[in-house]
Amino acid sequence: MTPSDSYADLIRRVKDAAVLGSCASVLGWDERVNLPPDGSEWRGEQMALLARLTHEMGIAPEVGEALAAVEGSDLVRDAETDAAVNVREIRRSYDRSVKLPKRLVEELARVTIRAQQSWQEARQANDFPSFRPWLEKVVALKREEAHAVGYRDHPYDALLDEYEPGATAAEITRVFAGLSAELVPLIAAIGQSSKKPNTDILHREYPVDLQKVIGTAAAAAIGFDFGAGRLDVTTHPFCSGIGPGDCRITTRYNSRSFVDSFFGILHEAGHGIYEQGLPREHAGTPLGSFCSLGIHESQSRLWENQVGRGRPFWEHFFPRARQVFLSSLRHVQLDDFLFAINEVKPSFIRVEADEATYNLHIVLRFELELALIAGDLAPADVPAAWNEKFQKMFGLTPPDDRQGCLQDIHWSMGGIGYFPTYTLGNLYAAQFMNQARHDLPGLDDDFRHGNYSPLTQWLNQKIHQPGRRWRANDLCRRVTGEPLSHRPLVEYLRGKYGALHGC
């Protein structure tokens, strides 16, 4: 078999595994949107079987043989070619997967489905003890995974690498320390400002059916294709890129808070636009996959915050919002609305946090995850550790676990190592937006006229179409000419809040 034949066989096998994985994605979406509570045990069995089958396809001896036949051939001599990129990334995934016992892969899939159902019930009932046994199982399995994959410095590195290839706990610690050092005094200065927004205007009656109308309109306006996607309701919003032509986003509604769902929809639509912008001709291969979760998060945070909380966006959208919610916004001025949606105030819930304090929520979770995986923190002690750290960082103590350690779905779904990518996304978003403004000097005028396609097209060309051609840091250098830095985000926040608060 020639190298070309081996490469064709390799791609066929990888695509088949991707199709099977997308079947699991449909079941995962259904589990979080439609599944009745009593169906979680059987869904766990379904997911476990699919996980095992996908894993077996990915580690089949024929995959290793095809990789060996292609590597070193002329097909991959130029590292920039499509074949070289695919082979590099398939090799990375293969080497990781062959280290994982089939039993562990299957058990993780089974346990996390049950754990997610338990988490949902525990969160609703504010009952951490009922969730604790499942958290203990998940942490034990993730520690086993870390040791199976292997690491040099910290077991957390093995888990982080799944979401942010090449990143390490030590690197994340350094980045977070630099960012926190500048955020803490900024947040303090804002807190001391005498200028405070009137946020009551955001907590009036906003009928859910009307929230859906304007949220859907906003998602479509910025580029989410509803011909290839849909919007549904769930407990913890997410985006699921199931495959070409099928991207599903979700939100949750609160009739007393219009902006919760609105910004949530913008956020998930940003994820969805990335998924819809990946090159279809490479679907099922690394070139048709997203670069990293940090880059994925940059797309959601860019639309939610860099665009969605800015004046130019609302110069177009506020008149529409006032028409939709006439009784609640009739007498509200644009300046007052902008100040309200950009309030900085320490709060308990991460997904409702403002741009300035949000990253401190991530630092807290990152530190707890490091301790859990290292074995320095027992799952049973998470509530106390959470509350102690929260008090130290925010000056607040959560009144209950529902507003504390039970608020996020990630640990129940086995997503340990996922949280740092949120802050990485904020950093990348600020840096990408700086470059977009440089390349597209009329961007704010476009936003004022409701024209978001120039930015969407720029992102598609620069961020989406490359797929996994480059690592996240390399992509950042190619797009912006600079390595990732916390300074663009800090400068953006200082500029925004300095103007609002005079600090």
Q: Which residues are catalytic?
A: 268
Query: 């009745």: which residue's tokens?
Result: 36
113 contacts 313 by C-beta, under 8 angstroms: no
What whole-number distance in Å separates Cα of residue 49 and Cα of residue 53? 6
Name the residue among 488, 490, 183 with its Cα closest to residue 357: 183
Q: Which helix (H) or strand (E) holds 408?
A: none
Alpha helices in 399-459 (DSSP H): 420-439, 443-448, 453-459
123 contacts 349 by C-beta, under 8 angstroms: no
What whole-number distance in Å separates Cα of residue 446 and Cα of residue 453? 9
| Residues paired with 138 in a beta bridge | none
What DSSP character marks residue 201? G
26 contacts 230 by C-beta, under 8 angstroms: no
What whole-number distance in Å separates Cα of residue 83 and Cα of residue 343? 48
What DSSP character marks residue 202? G
First to last CA, the chain: 68
> Which H, E and C letters describe 16-44, residue by residue?
HHHHHHHHHHHHHHHHHHCCCHHHHHHHH
Alpha helices in 34-154 (DSSP H): 40-58, 61-70, 82-97, 102-125, 128-149
The Cβ of residue 490 has, within 10 Å, a number of other Cβ atoms equal to: 19
| Residues paired with 230 in a beta bridge | 248
The Cβ of residue 113 has, within 10 Å, a number of other Cβ atoms equal to: 27
The Cβ of residue 254 has, within 10 Å, a number of other Cβ atoms equal to: 14
Name the residue among 2, 1, 12 with its Cα closest to residue 63: 12
431 contacts 480 by C-beta, under 8 angstroms: yes
What whole-number distance in Å separates Cα of residue 35 and Cα of residue 30? 6
473 contacts 483 by C-beta, under 8 angstroms: yes
120 contacts 235 by C-beta, under 8 angstroms: yes
